[in-house]
Structure 1
Amino acid sequence: MNITMTNRQGKTLSVTVSGQENAPVIIFSNSLGTDKNMWQPQVVALEQQFKVVTYDTRGHGQSDVIEHTTLQNLAEDVIDILNGLNIEKAHFCGISMGGITALWLGIYHADRFLSITVANSAAKIWTTDGWNTRADAVIQNGLADLVTTTHSRWFSERFDYQHNALAQRTIQSLAVTPAAGYAESCRALAQADLTAEIKNIHIPTLIIAGAFDPVTTVADGIFMQQQIQGSELVEIEASHLSNIEQPELFNQTFIKFVESVQ
C-alpha cells in the first residue's frame, strides 16, 4: 500500500506499507541519493512475518524537497510517519544517512523503538567542508558527475553491479534525485555529529559495517560499538550498500537480531 503522508512541516512524504497488519513493525530508511525501493530484498524477506514500512527520505524519490533540513528534521519525519500510521513502537533500520538518523532516534526518541539497526553509517559521516562543497557543486552542476562514479563508492569490485537489476535501479535513483533534495541532505549531514551523544543510547542496537566500505568504515562501526553499551557489531563483506551487495547475509544478520529483541 502506497501512502502520501504529511509531516509536521506540512510537507508530503511517500510511504509504502506491506506485510502483516498486526505483526511487529520494521521501518527502513534509505541512503543519500536513493529511494525506498533500495530495500526490496529486505521487504521480500520480511513481509511474511512483519509489518514493513519504507519511505522516501525528504528530497528523495516521491517525497517533497524541504529547505533548511537538519538531522533532527530527518529523524522527526520518522516519528511523524509512526504517528500517522498509529504505530506505537517499531524496529528501525537505516543505512548511511538512514543510519545516522537511527542514532538520533535512539538518543532522543528511544521510547518509540524496540531496536535500531545502524548499517554502513557513523556518528559523524565524512567532513563538514566536504558535504558543503558537494552541496554547492550539485546545485551548480547537477548530479551527473556523481552518477558516473557512484558505483565505486556504493559497491565493491567483487560485486557485479552491472548485471544486478536492483543495483542498476538504485544507481538510476540517484540520477533522478532532485539536486535540491540531495543538496539539502548534504547540508544536514555536514552539521550532523553525534560522537559525544551516542553513549546515551540504551535500546538494543545492531551495527552493520561493510568490510570494503570506503565511506563509513569498519573503524566507524567499532567506535559506535564501543560507545553504545550492549550493542552488537557485524562486519559484512560488502561496500557501502551492503543490503544490496550481500542481501542474504544482511537479511540473516538483521532477522536474527530483531528476533532476539522480541
Structure 2
Amino acid sequence: MNYIDMGQGETLVFVHGFSSNKESWTCQFDLAENYRLIIPELRGHGKSVVFENISIQQFAKDVLDLLDELNIDKAHFCGLSLGGIIVQEIYKQQPHRVSSLILSNTFSQISNVFNILFTFYFKYRLKKYTKMDGDEIISKAVKRIIYNNKNEDLLENAKSALTYNEKGFANTLVSLPKGFSYLNMLSTLPVPILILGSKNDKLAPVRYAKQSYRNANKSKAELHIFDKAGHLPNIEHKEEYNQKLLEFLQSVC
C-alpha cells in the first residue's frame, strides 16, 4: 500500500474518497506540526496496482493492516466522501483502535434505491467519458464538485487530488454495498465525532451530514457546515477546515 507518514504526536489517519489519492490531503500537511499523519492510498486508487477484492470492508481492513505494520495501536480517523464510509467501517471492525472520528462530506446510511441510481449515473458518465483521456475526465469532474469553479488555482489543486483509473473506478463502483447504515452505531458511539458538510455539495448533499448528526450520540458529536463550498472543503476552504480539525482534536486529545 502506498502511503504518506509525516509529523509527530498522536496519530491522525486521513482516508481519501472515490477516484482520489493520497495527495488529496496535501492542504492538511500543516497539521503534521502537531500530529503524526498517516495517509494511505486505497487499493484501485492513485498509483495502486491492486484491483482485486475491492469492498468497503477490505478498504477498512487495509488501513488497519497498515497501522499494524507501523505499530500504531490507536488513532484519530478523518475520512472524506468514500473515506468517511470507510472510517465508520473501521470503527465497526475494531472500535478499540479509534480515538475519535471525523466524517467529512459523507454518508452514514445509503438505501438500496439511492445506490442503484448512484451506480447507474456513474456508469452512464463512465461510458460518456470513454473517448476522453484521463486529464479531460478529471477536469470535467472537478468543475462539477467544486463550488467556485472559476478559480483556476483552486481547480488545479482539486485536480491533483483526483486520479482517473478506469479499472479501479469500475471495480470500486460495483463493489459499493447495495445499502448500509451506521446510524445505530453512531447513536451509541462512545468516542468524540466531528461531522462536516458543505452547503453546496452536490455529491454528498448537506442533508446527509445533518442526518448523521441527528442520529449521533449528542454528548460526543459536533456538526460544522461550510458555506460556499462543494464536495472538497478541505481544499476549497483549507484554512477553515484545518482550524476546525485542530480545535476538535485539541478538545479530545
Q: How would you bin the TM-score normalised by the shorter chain?
A: 0.7 to 0.9
Structure 1, 118-127 or 247-256: larger mean CA deviation: 118-127
Retained in 1: the 8 A contact 2:77–2:87?
yes
Q: What corresponds to 2:86 in structure 1? A: 101
Q: 1:196/1:97 Cα in 2 relative to 1: closer, same or farther (>3 Å)?
A: same
* SS class of match (2:24): helix
Q: In the TM superposition, what is the alpha-carbon distance from 1:86 to its structure 2 partner?
A: 0.4
Aligned pairs for 1:138-157 within 5 A: 138=126, 142=130, 144=132, 146-156=137-147
Counterparts of 1:130 and 1:231, CA distance in 2: 30
Q: In the TM superposition, what is the alpha-carbon distance from 1:137 to its structure 2 partner?
A: 6.2
Of the three residues 33, 36, 49, the one matched with 2:19 is 33
Counterparts of 1:214 and 1:106, CA distance in 2: 27
Retained in 1: the 8 A contact 2:116–2:178?
no
Q: In the TM superposition, what is the alpha-carbon distance from 1:139 to its structure 2 partner?
A: 7.6
Retained in 2: the 8 A contact 1:123–1:220?
yes
Q: What corresponds to 1:189 in structure 2? A: 176
Q: Which runs of 5 or more residues in structure 2 are unaligned?
A: none
Superposed CA deviations along residues 64-114 of structure 1, whole A, max 9, x for unmatched, are 332242211111111111101100101111100001111112233221011
Counterparts of 1:76 and 1:99, CA distance in 2: 14
Counterparts of 1:181 and 1:105, CA distance in 2: 21
TM-score, normalised by the number of residues in structure 2: 0.86
Counterparts of 1:85 and 1:16, CA distance in 2: 12
Q: What corresponds to 2:225 in structure 1? A: 235
Q: 1:167/1:106 Cα in 2 relative to 1: closer, same or farther (>3 Å)?
A: same
Q: 1:65/1:57 Cα in 2 relative to 1: closer, same or farther (>3 Å)?
A: same
Q: What corresponds to 2:192 in structure 1? A: 204
Superposed CA deviations along residues 37-73 of structure 1, whole A, max 9, x for unmatched, are 0101111x21111111111111111223322422111
RMSD of aligned residue pairs (Cα, Å): 2.3
Q: What corresponds to 1:9 in structure 2? A: none
1:111 maps to amino acid:
H
Retained in 2: the 8 A contact 1:90–1:112?
yes
Aligned pairs for 1:61-210 within 5 A: 61-124=46-109, 127-133=114-120, 134-135=122-123, 138=126, 142=130, 144=132, 146-156=137-147, 158=148, 160-164=150-154, 165-170=156-161, 173-174=162-163, 177-198=164-185, 199-210=187-198
Counterparts of 1:69 and 1:208, CA distance in 2: 26
Retained in 2: the 8 A contact 1:135–1:184?
no
* SS class of match (2:180): coil
Of the three residues 233, 246, 250, the one matched with 1:255 is 246
Q: In the TM superposition, what is the alpha-carbon distance from 1:161 to its structure 2 partner?
A: 4.0
Counterparts of 2:62 and 2:124, CA distance in 1: 25
* SS class of match (1:54): strand
Q: What corresponds to 2:206 in structure 1? A: 218
Retained in 1: the 8 A contact 2:14–2:25?
yes
Q: In the TM superposition, what is the alpha-carbon distance from 1:202 to its structure 2 partner?
A: 2.6
2:20 maps to amino acid:
T
TM-score, normalised by the number of residues in structure 1: 0.84
Q: Which runs of 5 or more residues in structure 1 are unaligned?
A: 1-12
Q: In the TM superposition, what is the alpha-carbon distance from 1:136 to its structure 2 partner?
A: 7.6
State the percentage of identical aligned residues.
Answer: 25
1:50 maps to amino acid:
Y
Counterparts of 2:131 and 2:107, CA distance in 1: 24
